[in-house]
Homo-oligomer: A and B are copies of this chain.
Amino acid sequence: MAREEGGGGEAQGGTVVTPSAEFPPLAEAELATLRGIGARWRPGGRPGELPVDPTLGRYRRRPPSRFGRLAPIELFKVEEPDELVATEPANLPGSRWGRAVTRLRRALFGPPLSSAAVLYERMRKLVALPILSSDLLSSVAYGPEAMLSVLVLAGSGSLGLSLPLAAALVVLMIAVGLSYRQTIPAYPHGAGSYIVAGDNLGVTPGLAAAAGLMLDYVLTVSVSVAAGVHAVTSALPGLTWATVPLGVLVIAVLLAGNLRGVRTAGNIFVLPTYAFVVAVLAVLAVGYLRAAGRGFAPVPPPTVPAAEGVGLLLVLRAFASGAVSMTGIEAVSNAVPAFRPTEWRNARTTLGWMVTMLVVLFAGLTVLIHLAGLVPRPDETVLSQLGRLTFPTGPWYALLQVTTALILLLAANTAFNDFPRLLFFMARDGHAPRRFLHMGDRLAFSNGLVALAVAATVVFVAFGGHTEALIPLYAVGVFLAFTLSQAGMVVHWRRRRGRGWRHRLVLNALGATLSGLVLLTAAVAKFTEGAWVVVVAVPLLVLLFHRIHRHYATLHRALALHRPPAAGAGPAPTGAGPAEGEELPQQVRHLVVVPVARLNRASLRALAYAASLGQPTLAVHIAPEEAEADRFREQWRAWGDQVRLETIVSPYRAVIGPLAHYLEALHASRPELTLTVIVPEVVLRRRRHRPLHSRAEQRLRTALRPLPGVVVTSVPVHIAE
């Protein structure tokens, strides 16, 4: 995909996450231009020696007074001749308020981590399995129930349809699993749907997959947190009222944990995931033993009146709802480089284990629920009902609920890992705001984390924390990404034509077709239930990503280096070049303008600064009345008329407007001039004194911003009190 404008590019290292991504290297053509510019560079005046040692050699024995407390700590260390390394205290902001905020943040999220601490951890399969499968396996906590919730609308009699639907879903799981199994060796550096679809199908499908994934991650957090809270309120119905605040709290804790960086906490995943699997397996074992005792005769479910008839649409809706059990199946293919060597082989094995476990848990639970004659109830999850039935006494039921809540929490956490990474790759390609490239001081992509938490909280609160209401939105985004990723693999095999490519192509085509069918089913059957939101949002997001990319591309072109024109090579071009076209010192023609309101220390300092630059200088005074203008000129003469003064009478008493227009007019009369507007700025120490001042300096700066060729210089005067 078109990665050249966004900077980065394949050379930068595919799926490697690095803090240097904010500073992409220059292309060879740009370096050549740079050499050409350098050859014609003629500095003005007497640049000569620096009046100060830039390596702070002398300074280190004399720390500045404002940081008296930090005196014993050196803020910078000298490394190479022209290189300093900032130590940790050098990151503290200068203002008291800023330092307090930074301290609080560090207390919450820990001290900053050095770039050198970026870890490229390698995982054993037995560790990778729980980490990568929490999202997938946790879905069985709500997937079968989502399916039954639809079927029960046609009355309890139609609940038996869950068995054939489960069989179809198992086929789908295996097909998609096999399909992803093939992706892994083909993309050993990681095969996110965004990358696979983008590489093989083009930019727009890649962005569509990214949009689907982004919605998927947001909904993963919302749905997992909703289901986790539901697991808790099923066990403790007294907490039902607190569903929404509890969920928001959980999202906040997840955000805080991820801002802190839970990288060393990979092991946290191991226990709950395995515990959940064991707990569900125990439920299955005990349940099937009991069922065997009565000859596998199903308990008839309580009679529920039918709200609608059993139609094709209902069955399709139930199928699409059940399919959300597959969310998270793509996790392994994203994370191939995190495995120990041989990476792709270990990853593939792990994926096999995961899909097997998914099939066992999903099918086992669906059948057992049918045998037990359970019906979805709004106040208690089906899994909780099954747990109570299976373990009427003892701590086992509580354990099941705790592990369910924990694995759902971990599933939500998975999205917190993947969402910022996806945004990082998109930002590197110029499809997302560049701020998502920035690693916070804990080496986490703080901006992406916050964006995810905000979006998930909005969705969670808007839907009142109800899992069922979110499911229709969920399936569409997930299966869009599945379909595009596997369709991308089909194209991949057709292009590469490696060993056995036909066989592989057929397998991926099958996966793509089945995923596509589920996507269509979900989008159509659940359109009115909420899927329309996703159907509308994905194209809008793709459009947005394209627009962002266009902006960055324009910017890149506008800022790209180009060789100075041949005329500029001479000692002093006299022709009127375009404003801001200068790239060589000898091309810059100066006019210094100093707006002066009254003659005091601040304005005299600005005038002295201006005069010290040794360039043509003009002072401008805006007077509200003729009388005041005369008075000011008198003061100017008393000072000795050191600088040419132009007075502008502004009979309507506006200052900024006429000044900006005057500067614009000056510039229009000689467009090749660079106007340097030197503004005296009184800096107040206390924020509460600000309302006593008009902040004319800021307003002038804002008014001058759009003018080309106008440079604004603030000469500060600091007021002690």
Q: Say if the beta carbon of A614 comes within 8 Å of chain B.
A: yes
Nearest Cβ distance between residue A646 and chain B, in whole angstroms? Answer: 4
Q: Say if the beta carbon of A631 comes within 8 Å of chain B.
A: yes
Tell me the bound Cα distance from A324 to B75 in angstroms.
67
One of B85, B560, B590, B707 near A651 (C-beta < 8 A): B85
Which of A52, A66, A638, A640 has the most chain B CB atoms inside 10 A of its CB?
A: A52
Q: Which of A346-354, A361-369, A481-489, A656-664 lines the interface with chain B?
A: A656-664
One of B609, B652, B662 near A76 (C-beta < 8 A): B662
Would you give the 0/1 interface string for A572-600, flagging 1 where the beta carbon is closer than 8 Å to chain B? 00000000101111111111000001111
Would you give the 0/1 interface string for A121-139, flagging 1 where the beta carbon is closer than 8 Å to chain B? 0000000000000000000
CB within 8 Å for A559 and B38 given contacts A93-B657, A624-B22? no
CB within 8 Å for A644 and B54 given contacts A20-B625, A64-B664, A706-B94? yes
Nearest Cβ distance between residue A627 and chain B, in whole angstroms? Answer: 6
One of B20, B50, B614, B648 near A45 (C-beta < 8 A): B614
**Residues 623 to 658 of chain A near chain B (Cβ within 8 Å):** 623-625, 627-629, 631-633, 635, 638-640, 642-654, 656-658
Q: Say if the beta carbon of A433 comes within 8 Å of chain B.
A: yes
Which of A31, A91, A589, A701 has the most chain B CB atoms inside 10 A of its CB?
A: A91
Q: Say if the beta carbon of A357 comes within 8 Å of chain B.
A: no
Nearest Cβ distance between residue A621 and chain B, in whole angstroms? Answer: 9
Q: Say if the beta carbon of A285 comes within 8 Å of chain B.
A: no
- B20 and A627 within 8 A (CB): yes
- B584 and A608 within 8 A (CB): yes
- A608 and B629 within 8 A (CB): no
Residues of B near A119 (CB, < 8 A) are: none
- A692 and B648 within 8 A (CB): no
Would you give the 0/1 interface string for A487-512, flagging 1 where the beta carbon is closer than 8 Å to chain B? 00000000000000000000000000
Q: Say if the beta carbon of A48 comes within 8 Å of chain B.
A: yes
- B705 and A716 within 8 A (CB): yes
One of B53, B558, B604, B712 near A714 (C-beta < 8 A): B712
- A611 and B41 within 8 A (CB): yes
**Residues 400 to 449 of chain A near chain B (Cβ within 8 Å):** 433-435, 438-441
- A548 and B614 within 8 A (CB): no
Q: Say if the beta carbon of A115 comes within 8 Å of chain B.
A: yes
Q: How many residues of A contact B (CB 8 A)?
A: 174
Nearest Cβ distance between residue A639 and chain B, in whole angstroms? Answer: 4
Residues of B near A650 (CB, < 8 A) are: 85-86, 90-91
Tell me the bound Cα distance from A548 to B661 in angstroms.
34
One of B622, B664, B705 near A66 (C-beta < 8 A): B664
Q: Say if the beta carbon of A275 comes within 8 Å of chain B.
A: no
CB within 8 Å for A613 and B612 given contacts A31-B635, A618-B50? no
- B715 and A711 within 8 A (CB): yes
Q: Say if the beta carbon of A720 comes within 8 Å of chain B.
A: yes
- B716 and A708 within 8 A (CB): yes
CB within 8 Å for A588 and B608 given contacts A86-B652, A644-B50, A653-B439? yes
Q: Say if the beta carbon of A82 comes within 8 Å of chain B.
A: yes
Nearest Cβ distance between residue A62 and chain B, in whole angstroms? Answer: 7
Residues of B near A589 (CB, < 8 A) are: 51
Would you give the 0/1 interface string for A683-721, flagging 1 where the beta carbon is closer than 8 Å to chain B? 101000101111000000101011110111111111111
Return 26 A-B CB contacts under 8 Å, by A number. A19-B653, A34-B599, A34-B638, A41-B642, A44-B614, A47-B617, A50-B618, A56-B662, A62-B668, A76-B665, A84-B649, A86-B622, A86-B661, A91-B652, A93-B657, A114-B652, A115-B653, A558-B717, A559-B717, A583-B605, A583-B608, A585-B611, A586-B612, A587-B612, A706-B718, A712-B716
7 closest A-B pairs by beta carbon, nearest first, are A45-B614, A38-B640, A64-B668, A585-B611, A588-B612, A86-B658, A59-B669
Given contacts A50-B591, A434-B693, 17 further A-B contacts (CB under 8 A): A22-B624, A25-B631, A43-B612, A45-B614, A50-B644, A51-B616, A51-B673, A59-B669, A94-B706, A558-B601, A559-B682, A582-B609, A586-B612, A613-B615, A676-B713, A683-B706, A713-B713
